[in-house]
Amino acid sequence: MGFLNEEMKDMFGVGLGAFTLGNLLSAVITFIICYIAIKLIIKIIKPIIFKLPIDVTIHKFAVSAIRVMLYFLMAIIVAQSFGIDTTSLIALFSVVGLALSLAVQGSLSNIASGIVMLITKPFVVGDFIEAAGISGTVSEISFIHTKIMTGDNKIIFVPNSELSSQKIINYSSQPLRRVDLNFEASYYDDIENVKKALLTAVEKSEVFLNEPEIFVNVSAYKQSSIEYVVKAWVKNSDYWTGYYRLIENVKKEFDLNNIEMTYDHINVHML
């Protein structure tokens, strides 16, 4: 662009302080060329980025980041057309960028964590998770925070940096879940009768699957009772239905079979 500046300076011979009319026209032409070039570049790379196997939020962020960098480069080129020392300009932008990064350090940490989670996908919108002492359904994932809806319909905004630094339990990632429950019966009740009643309670719940196989067995001998464990599989969406329905049906079956659902107590024998 130097020869263009000199020709325009000789042609118009009009100086505006450190600038000339030739420099101004050169900068305008440079701006138009760069602007058109940026539009073409974005138009080319946008469909390529959106075809990548990553979250759509990352797609938009990547396009926006490339657009900002291209416009920054355009500003440097246009400044050179004016004859401005771009070395000082870049140094100034670096200082400003450092100051801004320190001022928004927490937000940048959340953004970085959000990008990592969107790429690694420990959970997606609609999953039921437990993390940072909160359990609920993920309703939105943004760069700053993740929106979680609790079971009692409260919306909690959790900073992404907190989620990425703690253990995350995803209850929705698998199609099946297992219901594990323990029940206690008296020592006077026959073990086989109790196990049969527990199996019947599982079958009457109508949501449990036969495969994988239902597991019912003695799990412990306690001071006042024998403990039995029931492990049965359900579809993920039926977990809580099966959980509470089984608890209810076990009591009904125990009553039908005269099985005592005992509790901790002390028998005193007087001689």
Max avg pLDDT among 9-18, 36-45, 49-58? 36-45
pTM of structure: 0.60
Rounded to 10°, the helix 21-50/56-81 angle is 160
More confident residue, 8 or 67: 67
The answer to whether 183 and 249 have CB atoms below 8 angstroms apart is: no
Please choose, from the candidates 211, 199, 187, the residue with its C-alpha nearest in 3D space to the C-alpha of residue 250. Answer: 199
Least confident of 26-30, 105-109, 159-163: 105-109
Please state the domain extents for the chain: 2-103, 123-170, 176-256
pLDDT of 3 strictly over 60: no
Which amino acid does the sequence have at 242?
G
**Tell me: the pLDDT tens digits for 202-257?**
999 999 999 999 999 999 999 889 999 999 999 999 999 999 999 999 999 999 99
pLDDT, average across residues 141-155: 89
Please name the residues in contact with 174: beta carbons below 8 A apart, sequence gap of 6 or more: 236
Instruction: Give the domain 176-256 fold.
Output: Alpha-Beta Plaits (3.30.70)
How many Å apart are CA 9 and CA 20, to the nearest integer?
6
Average pLDDT over the chain, rounded to whole?
A: 82
Max avg pLDDT among 13-22, 49-58, 219-228? 219-228
pLDDT, position 57? 63
More confident residue, 85 or 136: 136
pLDDT, average across residues 151-167: 89
**Tell me: the pLDDT tens digits for 59-114?**
777 777 788 888 888 888 887 777 766 676 666 677 666 666 655 556 677 778 88
More confident residue, 168 or 118: 168
pLDDT of 190 strictly over 90: yes
The answer to whether 129 and 148 have CB atoms below 8 angstroms apart is: yes
Provide the CATH number for the domain formed by 2-103 in this structure.
Answer: 1.10.287
Q: How far is CA 28 from the centre of its chain?
A: 45
pLDDT, position 17? 39
The end-to-end CA distance of the chain, in Å, is 113
- Number of Cβ atoms within 10 Å of the Cβ of 34: 19
pLDDT, position 245? 96
Class of domain 123-170: mainly beta
